[in-house]
Amino acid sequence: MSSSVIESLVAAYQQMIIYSGISVLIVGLIGNCLNLIVFLSLKTFRQNSCVFYLTMMSIANIGQLITGLLTRIMISGVDIDWTQFVLFYCKF
């Protein structure tokens, strides 16, 4: 294959990572925040014993989206490697 075809495939891959990753990140953050609002505010859910587990899972999902997906978007899509700049990501 010629180098121009490979370069265009790499550019298409980066655009796909950026747009699909950002859309999944935004929808995931909104959905998990709405879960937290519902689970913590409605009295019906506070009386259920499973709500603590679901609340912790929503918090864990938010953390996973921020640390995992956002880092992947930055590394693959924008070519910014946070592990070289931020000590937290390097140690994590």
How far is CA 17 from each of CA 28, 51, 68, rounded to the nearest angstrom?
A: 16, 34, 13
Cα–Cα distance between 55 and 66 in angstroms, integer? 17
pTM: 0.78
- What would the pLDDT profile of 4-59 be if each residue is shown by its tens digit? 888 888 888 888 888 898 999 999 999 999 999 998 888 877 778 888 899 999 99
Number of domains in the chain: 1
Domain span at residue 21 reads 3-91
Contact 54, 35 (CB under 8 A): yes
